[in-house]
Amino acid sequence: MSITHHPPEDLLADLATGALGEAEHLVVGVHVAGCARCRRFVQAMEQLAGEALENAEPAAISDGAFDLLMARIQEAPPRDTRPSEARNVDEEEHRDLPEILRRCRLGKRRRVAPGVSVQPIDLPGRGKARAFLLQSAPGTRMIEHTHTGTELTCVLKGSFSHAGGRYGPGDFDYGDEDIDHRPIVGDEGPCLCVVAMIGDLRMNGFFGRLISPFVRL
Ligand SMILES: [Zn+2]
């Protein structure tokens, strides 16, 4: 895997300190799992954060804090371990996904535009961003769009290109409201990406405005 596009360093730092929301954590985590360079950066950040903690003055803990904490742990709802029906449907297809994604529960895949389908990733917490797998047929020309929030993408299979260059397996793409792009999927095969999105897509141009109400990602 030759990775040429990496997440910005502030996202990697936030991953190391656990400051990212679940969806963003997942997408940055998928990239880092496959990228030795970013993994080294994240490990260095984790080490720095650990040292900072070790050197910090111990804070006084109020009486009863331990009991309170234990009570909270006992109160915490048990982890939901019900098997998801939807997940099994695509298990076969997603067997070669990165480990971190295979542990996720996937919702039902649905078609959102010609050649484009979306499969939501069921995350237990409630972050601001949604995560999903986005699959596009070879040669699909995505409609020109901008974002009302941010969009984090990591390519799993296939490729796409836009003004920022070509994005192949492992590559990370960061989009926000300032970026106006029109990705084209490579011809070598379907393109599968894991995406974390805050806000919505805004389609540009006449056709985009026309179909925009129907494209609910
Ligand atoms: Zn990287």
- pLDDT on residue 8: 95
CA of 43 to the centre of ligand 1 (A): 13
Between these two residues, 213 and 9, which has the higher pLDDT value?
Answer: 9
CA of 6 to the centre of ligand 1 (A): 4
Beta bridge partners of 81: none
- pLDDT on residue 61: 61
CA of 83 to the centre of ligand 1 (A): 33
Beta-sheet strands, E only, within 137-213:
145-147, 151-157, 160-162, 165-167, 172-175, 184-185, 191-197, 201-203
Single pTM value for the model: 0.76
CA of 93 to the centre of ligand 1 (A): 26
CA of 142 to the centre of ligand 1 (A): 25
- pLDDT on residue 50: 81
CA of 15 to the centre of ligand 1 (A): 13
Q: Tens digits of per-residue pLDDT, 123-180?
A: 887 677 889 999 999 998 876 666 667 889 999 999 999 888 999 999 999 887 666 6
How far, in Å, CA of 31 to CA of 196, rounded? Answer: 13
How far, in Å, CA of 146 to CA of 127, rounded? Answer: 22
CA of 4 to the centre of ligand 1 (A): 8
Write down the domain spans for the chain. 1-56+86-217
Q: What is the mean pLDDT of residues 26-43?
A: 96
Between these two residues, 135 and 76, which has the higher pLDDT value?
Answer: 135
Give whole-number Cα distances, 155 to 8, 108, 148, 196, in Å: 16, 20, 21, 12
Task: Write out the residues surrounding ion ligand 1, Cβ under 5 A.
Answer: 6, 35, 37-38
How far, in Å, CA of 95 to CA of 185, rounded? Answer: 22
How far, in Å, CA of 110 to CA of 154, rounded? Answer: 20
- pLDDT on residue 14: 94
What are the backbone angles phi and psi of residue 202, rounded to the nearest 5°?
A: -120, 120
* Nearest by Cα to 170 from 8, 35, 22: 35
Give whole-number Cα distances, 106 to 32, 94, 118, 149, 163, in Å: 21, 10, 10, 23, 31
CA of 150 to the centre of ligand 1 (A): 19
CA of 172 to the centre of ligand 1 (A): 8
CA of 34 to the centre of ligand 1 (A): 8
- pLDDT on residue 75: 61
CA of 78 to the centre of ligand 1 (A): 35
CA of 111 to the centre of ligand 1 (A): 30
Among the four given CATH numbers 3.10.20.30, 3.10.20.880, 2.60.120.10, 3.60.21.10, the one describing domain 1-56+86-217: 2.60.120.10
* Nearest by Cα to 107 from 96, 94, 121, 126: 121
- pLDDT on residue 213: 47
How far, in Å, CA of 175 to CA of 139, rounded? Answer: 21
pLDDT of 215 > 60? The answer is no
